[in-house]
Chain A
Amino acid sequence: MRISENIAIQPGKRPGRRWRWSGLLEDRTVMGMAFVAPAVGLLLLFLAYPLILGIWLGFTDTVVGGTGEFIGLANYISLLNDALFWKVTYYTFLYTGAAVFFKLLLGFALAIVLNREFRAKGFVRAIVLLPWIIPTVLSAICFWWLYDTTFSGITWVLMKIGLIGHKIDYLGDPTNARIALIVANVWRGIPFFTIGLLAGLQTINPSLYEAASIDGAGGWHRFRHVTLPLISPLLAVVTTFSTIWTFADFQLIWVITRGGPANATHLYGTLSFQRAIPGGQFGEGAAISAFILPVLMISVWVCYKYMRREE
């Protein structure tokens, strides 16, 4: 054996069981497989399998703690015939569209404001991220209290300066509640856009702006022809991430309104939870959350395309 000849070069090293083990790991494939095994194992068991199981459950009448029968499309048919489901669909799309739009707009704006040198830049950047890192549930509680009809600070200010004559029922009125939740979501999501895009803005070589200025481009044109094209791939990814998270949101809604008033603020996520966990209807709940899948697939596709282009 050639291997044994080499041991001579390594004083003090005796062939033994341990040595043979590490020898096995010298093979790329063996080592690679061994190293990814824990992660892949956990993800297969608790991510891939549930994903498929979830789709299967949507075709059954499983209830909590029990096994169900295959009932074909029955869950889907009853959902599609349910006016409530359409109401939820409407709000899910409205919530996602409006929230992502404003997060993008305001987050990008803040990133541009922050993309310059000023004192305490690091500190300001750290503060900006706070809404993102503080547990959503906890900030949701805060918004809930802030939206209290009687004791809201917002109402107090508006009445003091005479803008409104009576109290606003933020969460009792369907339209108000819908807007209020979108505002809370925007508040929480701005930092993600800001910090993500700021990082992108900082990678743009300043000499590009200088060259554009010399070519006669004003502020708007520099933004339109230098900033925007260079940042658009990052913009696409950040927006995609935010879209799938917003579309599949749960925490904010569940804490602040639980889908009310009159189910006006249910998303797919909250409705599915309500049917499956307190309601016990696993099959129906799984069918509802399956409606998130198409958006997930589109997100995966967008990210994939972007990554391919990078390579």
Chain B
Amino acid sequence: MSEKFVERMIKFYLPLFIFLFFLLFPFYWMFITAFKSDAELYNLKLNPFFIHEPTFKNILMLFKETLFNRWMFNTFFVAILATILSLSASLLAAYAIQRVRFRGSGPIGISIFFGYLVPPTILFIPLAAIIFQLKIWDSLWSLVLIYPTFLIPFCTWLLMGYFKSIPKEMEECAMIDGASRLRVFWQIVVPLALPGILSAGIFAFTLSWNEYLYALTFISTTTLKTAPVGLITELVRGDVYHWGPLMTGALLASVPVALVYSFFVEHYVAGMTGALKE
């Protein structure tokens, strides 16, 4: 073994593997728990890091005895609608701020960005009061309307960065070619910004899928809960924890996000770093 290899081992592979182990271990733990029976789970004599007799009981219980699929549907419903709503609003706003450059566009852009910093923990109480007044308490529509508060700032900022990268001359040329501003937007800018729109959409979807505090606060009917809230509130009753189904639920509820993510990793990373750098 050459000295160089040893050095690379110590300086690179070793720290990398320690990090990866730390970051991935909880997922492994989640995964094996999901396929263990209660008997195995609570048998201290067995090595807990292996599945000795894999079982699908947990999954069955989750779908048969809980409203898990209903919660998943609710989460989908809210995430998709909130994403579409936020993306449309952000697309228009980002273009106006970055490119139309009307009077006041600068301050509006900065204010929208700062909206992203406002944490939900400050907002949920007054929002609860507002939701109550609007009579959409305990309705999924409240979430569809509230999620844009954190999605719009993020998407707008991300899309502004994308619009910046489109040469201005492209739009000017189209305007000289005879296109109205509206047409320039639809036929030139939007097609060119598609990767950015995709990034923003993926982000918005995962962010809404992961939301917890608002869903926990505004929704109380069991059938209307989103997956993260439903799992916690319905599978944990007093001191009885159904660890198997809980882990299974956590695993399954992570699947859509993980899927979306795995298909669009590059867009996701680009979106995250793009938004940071802007």
Tell me the A residues contacting B by CB distance below 8 Å.
Answer: 10, 22-23, 25-26, 28-29, 31-36, 38-40, 42-43, 45-47, 49-51, 53-54, 57, 62, 64-65, 106, 109-110, 113-114, 116, 118, 122, 124-131, 133-139, 141-143, 145-146, 148, 150-151, 153, 156, 187, 190-192, 195-196, 198-200, 234, 237-238, 241, 244-245, 247-251, 254-255, 268-269, 272-273, 276-277, 282, 285-286, 289-290, 292-293, 296, 299-300, 303-304, 307
Contact = CB atoms under 8 A, between A and B. Distances in A.
Given A43-B149, A277-B216, A293-B122, 7 more contacts: A39-B112, A54-B125, A54-B126, A125-B265, A139-B30, A141-B246, A250-B120
Contacts of B23: 127-128, 130-131, 187, 190-191
A47 B100 contact: no
14 contacts: A33-B96, A39-B112, A43-B148, A43-B152, A50-B130, A65-B132, A129-B261, A130-B258, A145-B30, A145-B243, A196-B276, A241-B276, A292-B122, A304-B114
A25 to B, nearest CB: 5
A130 B277 CA distance: 21
A149 to B, nearest CB: 12
Interface in B183-223: 183, 206, 209-210, 212-213, 216-217
Nearest to A26: B181
Nearest to B130: A50
Contact of A134 (B92, B254, B269): B254
Interface residues of B, number: 100
Secondary structure at the A interface, as helix, strand, loop or mixed, is: helix
Contacts of B209: 135
A31 B103 CA distance: 11
B149 A195 contact: no
A307 to B, nearest CB: 7
Secondary structure at the B interface, as helix, strand, loop or mixed, is: helix
B14 to A, nearest CB: 10
B49 A153 contact: yes
B253 interface: yes
A190 B25 CA distance: 14
A46 B149 contact: yes
Given A129-B268, A130-B23, A151-B41, A296 B117 contact: yes
A278 B104 CA distance: 43
A153 B29 contact: yes
B229 to A, nearest CB: 8
B96 A133 contact: no
Given A28-B102, A35-B92, A303 B114 contact: yes
B257 interface: yes
